[in-house]
């Protein structure tokens, strides 16, 4: 029997500088793949063009290489499933939308932001896209849709099939999302931009990704993506969602916490091996922070060593990194 080779990926969004949280996810995703002897793919997720900038995409590549990560396919080296830049893959997304529309799985939504905010207190919503959508536009007649389209360009929503979504997460364990939590979700915005949910599903399937490792904040995106895999007849990858690095304010570690940008660390003389060791120690991969290269971590890598809870980054921890 021929085993399917492991194929994982890291897919940054070039709307801001890479920071410690991004780099931690990239390192652990890379280790998961390399420890299995697999292929690692780098993809630039710039589908939201107004927010993304080419110079930030170039900086992300430079930061990842500086850390000591490599990839088998990517924007800079190509590969068998081009393009590795999301904004150059829009024809694939349009084809998927056409298929879903032909099968009656999509409908136009004319709801305004104000109308959607009115249901902000709805229970059981998935955090990544807000509260449960009440289905306001799902049952509009063709005449009503035509009339409303004269005043507003609609978004497109995927109609949820109304059943529970269950899957086994390699880090978070068994997951069950009840049907009333997985509401109809947007696959194309009113401004024409393809949703993250659709683009990432199409890209991972087209690039034959077998394993997706990402932050816990994207766990509740998974049921929507599984519905899209199911509707499009595509094989779904295995999912691994790891707990996040948190600031002392209890929020996900990000640029707002200061000194987090990898480019700033490099400019201030932080060595790549020092950062790798710091990430590894605070991710349970080594016993204490010490300089280490990514390749040195491959042999002993084990997902079970990753903490099960978010890691709060204190000022003292940062001082040990930044000096």
* Closest of 21, 10, 31 to residue 275, by C-alpha: 21
Interatomic CA distance for residues 293 and 277, integer angstroms: 8
Residue 111 annotated as lining a ligand binding site: yes
Residue 166 annotated as lining a ligand binding site: no
Q: Taking the CA atoms of 204, 99, 90 and 162 in sequence, report the sign of the dihedral they define.
A: negative
Residue 52 annotated as lining a ligand binding site: no
Residue 65 annotated as lining a ligand binding site: no
Residue 148 annotated as lining a ligand binding site: no
Interatomic CA distance for residues 39 and 7, integer angstroms: 5
Catalytic (active site) residue 99: no
Phi–psi pair at 166, nearest 5 degrees: -125, 140
Q: Which residues, other chains included, contact 81 with Cβ-Cβ below 8 Å and sequence gap of 6+?
A: 73, 206, 207, 208
Residue 252 annotated as lining a ligand binding site: no
Residue 300 annotated as lining a ligand binding site: no
Catalytic position from the list 99, 152, 251, 255: 255
- Look at the chain and count its residues: 323
Q: Dihedral through CA 112, CA 114, CA 118, CA 119, nearest 10?
A: 40
Residue 172 annotated as lining a ligand binding site: no
Residue 110 annotated as lining a ligand binding site: no
Q: Which residues, other chains included, contact 175 with Cβ-Cβ below 8 Å and sequence gap of 6+?
A: 165, 166, 167, 168, 169, 219, 222
Interatomic CA distance for residues 102 and 123, integer angstroms: 32
Q: Count other C-beta atoms under 10 Å from residue 184's C-beta.
A: 22
197 near 232, Cβ under 8 Å? no
Interatomic CA distance for residues 286 and 306, integer angstroms: 10
Phi–psi pair at 218, nearest 5 degrees: -100, 5
Residue 256 annotated as lining a ligand binding site: no
Encoded tokens for 97: 């939308």
Name beta bridge partners: 114: none
Binding positions for ATP are: 255
Binding positions are: 9-13, 45, 109, 111, 133, 137, 196, 214, 255
Binding positions for Zn(2+) are: 109, 111, 133, 137
The catalytic site residues sit at 255
Binding positions for L-glutamate are: 9-13, 45, 196, 214
């Amino acid at each position: 029997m021929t085993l399917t080779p492991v194929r994982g990926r890291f897919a940054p969004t070039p709307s801001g500088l890479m920071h410690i949280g991004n780099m931690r996810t990239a390192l652990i995703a890379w280790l998961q793949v390399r420890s299995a002897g697999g292929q690692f793919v780098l993809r630039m997720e710039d589908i939201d063009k107004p927010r993304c900038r080419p110079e930030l995409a170039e900086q992300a590549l430079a930061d990842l290489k500086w850390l000591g990560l490599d990839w088998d396919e990517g924007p800079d080296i190509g590969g068998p499933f081009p393009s590795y830049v999301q904004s150059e893959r829009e024809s694939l997304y349009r084809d998927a939308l056409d298929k879903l529309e032909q099968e009656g799985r999509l409908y136009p939504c004319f709801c305004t932001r104000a109308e959607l905010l009115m249901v902000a207190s709805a229970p059981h919503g998935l955090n990544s896209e807000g509260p449960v959508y009440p289905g306001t536009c799902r049952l509009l007649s063709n005449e009503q849709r035509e009339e409303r389209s004269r005043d507003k360009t609609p978004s497109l929503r995927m109609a949820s099939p109304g059943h529970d979504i269950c899957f086994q997460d390699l880090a978070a364990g068994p997951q069950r999302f009840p049907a009333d939590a997985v509401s109809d979700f947007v696959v194309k915005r009113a401004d024409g931009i393809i949703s993250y949910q659709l683009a990432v599903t199409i890209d991972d399937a087209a690039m034959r990704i077998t394993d997706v490792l990402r932050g816990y904040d994207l766990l509740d995106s998974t049921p929507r993506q599984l519905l899209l895999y199911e509707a499009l007849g595509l094989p779904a990858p295995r999912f691994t969602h790891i707990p996040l690095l948190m600031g002392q304010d209890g929020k996900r570690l990000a640029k707002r916490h200061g000194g987090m940008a990898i480019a700033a660390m490099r400019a201030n003389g932080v060595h790549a091996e020092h950062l790798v060791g710091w990430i590894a120690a605070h991710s349970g991969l080594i016993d204490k922070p010490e300089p280490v290269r990514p390749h040195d971590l491959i042999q002993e890598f084990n997902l079970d060593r990753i903490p099960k809870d978010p890691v709060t980054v204190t000022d003292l921890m940062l001082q040990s990194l930044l000096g």
